[in-house]
Structure 1
Amino acid sequence: MRLIALSLTALLLLIQYPLWLGKGGWLRVWELDKQVIQAKKHNDELKERNSKLDSEVQDLKTGTGAVEEHARFELGMIKKDEIFVQILNAASSAQTSNLNDPKPPKEKTAPSINH
């Protein structure tokens, strides 16, 4: 009787091996499921990006608002009869004041060589 119980236990373990560790086992299915979830998340992000780009393309094709916005911010263009005002922060105004300094920079002279 003991021999039959041991052989049945061994057969049960042999049957369990492919279920857990085999090619189509639970561990492999779990890993593939994680990969599918990551791929779906990445695809959703790409779809959102594509829809934003598509709406921008449609706006550029049909409307002048986007073209005007790009011209203003990227190319620095202004409309006729508009006044352009530029506000500088403290760091850039300090650099500008150094450029407008009336004192000429001191010239460095090369040392003379006597033979």
Structure 2
Amino acid sequence: MKWVTLVLMAAIAWFQYSLWLSKGGWRDMWQLQDRVVAQEEKNQALALRNTALAAEVMDLAEGQDAIAEIARVDLGYIQSGETYYRLVRRNP
């Protein structure tokens, strides 16, 4: 009877080891869950960036306001009939 108990205890120990520590066990599952959460955060950030880029493309495709704004900011564009004022600070 003792050897049956020992065999059953060894089997339980082996199954517990397989469940908790071996490849494909709980430890690996927890690591994969952490990786999934991190990847979902990256995907959410990229989705927001894609939405902003899509809105900018839509603005550029539909209207001249976005093009004029980019020209003003990046190239210093001034439309005809506008007055340009440049403010210069004095050094104390």
TM-score, reference length from structure 2: 0.89
Q: CA deviation at 1:4?
A: 3.4
Using the aligned pairs only, state the percent identity: 37
Which AA in structure 1 matches 2:56?
E
Alignment correspondent of 1:56: 56
Tell me by how many angstroms 1:90 deviates.
3.7
Unaligned runs of 5+ in 1: 95-115
**Amino acid aligned to 2:21:** L
> What is aligned with 1:31?
31
User: Where do 1:17-96 residues align within 5 Å?
Assistant: 17-91=17-91
How big is each residue's C-alpha offset from its partner over 1:46-85, in whole Å with a ceiling of 9 and x where there is no partner? 0110110011011001111101100111100111121111
- Structure number with larger C-alpha Rg: 1
Partner of 1:106: none
Q: Which runs of 4+ in 1 moved over 4 A?
A: none
Q: Give 1:15 deviation, angstroms.
A: 1.0
Which amino acid counterpart does residue 79 of structure 2 have in structure 1? K
Letter in 2 for 1:20: W
Count how many residue pairs are aligned between Structure 1 and Structure 2: 92
1:88 and 1:46 map into 2 onto residues whose CA distance is 40
| Between structures 1 and 2, the one with greater helix share | 2
